[in-house]
Amino acid sequence: MSSRLCSRVLFTSLCMPFSFLAQDTASGDSSPRTQYFPNTTDGIHLEMVFNYNLPNPSPESGVVDMVWGSNWATQPKDVYNTSYIPYSVDNYTNSVAWYQANHPDWLEYLCDEKTLAFEFGATTLAPLNFASSEVRAYQWAEWVDAPLAQGFGGIAVDTMDLTNDWQRCGHFDKSGAWVQQYTGQSDDPVFRHDVLEWESLTYAHVHQYSPNATMQVNVSYQFGQPRDANL
């Protein structure tokens, strides 16, 4: 895990309660969803970011209030578990080769129209065109609805960024024609719009699926981007 990704996870764990309220206010939802989380108004409480290295989650009971990216939906009973989802890549469902064979139009490329727009140097993680309605529908079915049906309290969205740091540029359509979406530059208003649209639509989908489900986003304030986009 890169140092940048580590810092973003730390930011999430420190500032998560604010992000819940901010999203509720922005969406017009008048009923804050923080009431679904453990009561942490008394004493010092602990949130765990991941627990995938634990062979058994039982030691968390009475110690950890919440696990942001948990491998267990309902264990222990006194821990609030949310399911991990990377919005722009597939890091646990299908391989790059699977997408190339089955949904090549879902893959995102650099402006050379040849190189996949891999993130964090990980060439095993398929970079997905999250602006595609088909991709979103797949993500919602596999990465949102499925874990919520298993009993997870919500989803934990990772690596969200308002800047096009991985130089995404476009994709090929079903006929094999190139479709340019972005400039490939870090500061790209179209990219920023697509990120915020994905967040807004996924947030609405989560709450449509379950009135009690929550969505937490690992994102830091980006001073080089518009204030409204950061809120």
pLDDT values of the chain reduced to their tens digit, one per residue, 231 residues:
333 333 343 333 333 433 433 344 344 454 557 777 777 777 777 889 999 999 999 999 999 999 999 999 999 999 999 999 999 999 889 999 999 999 999 999 999 999 999 999 999 999 999 999 999 999 999 999 999 999 999 999 998 899 999 999 999 999 999 999 999 999 999 999 999 999 999 999 999 999 899 999 987 777 777 777 766
Q: Please, what are the domains in the chain?
A: 3-230 (3.20.20)
CA 3 to each of CA 7, 88, 121, 216, 222: distance values in angstroms, whole numbers, following the listed order: 6, 19, 13, 21, 17
- Tokens 């009431």, residue located: 35
pLDDT of residue 57: 95
Residues 6+ apart with CB under 8 A from 31: 24
CB 119 within 8 A of CB 178: no
Beta-strand relationship, 178-180 and 170-172: antiparallel
Residue 7 · residue 38 · CB < 8 Å: no
pTM, two decimal places:
0.80
Tokens of 144: 């949102």
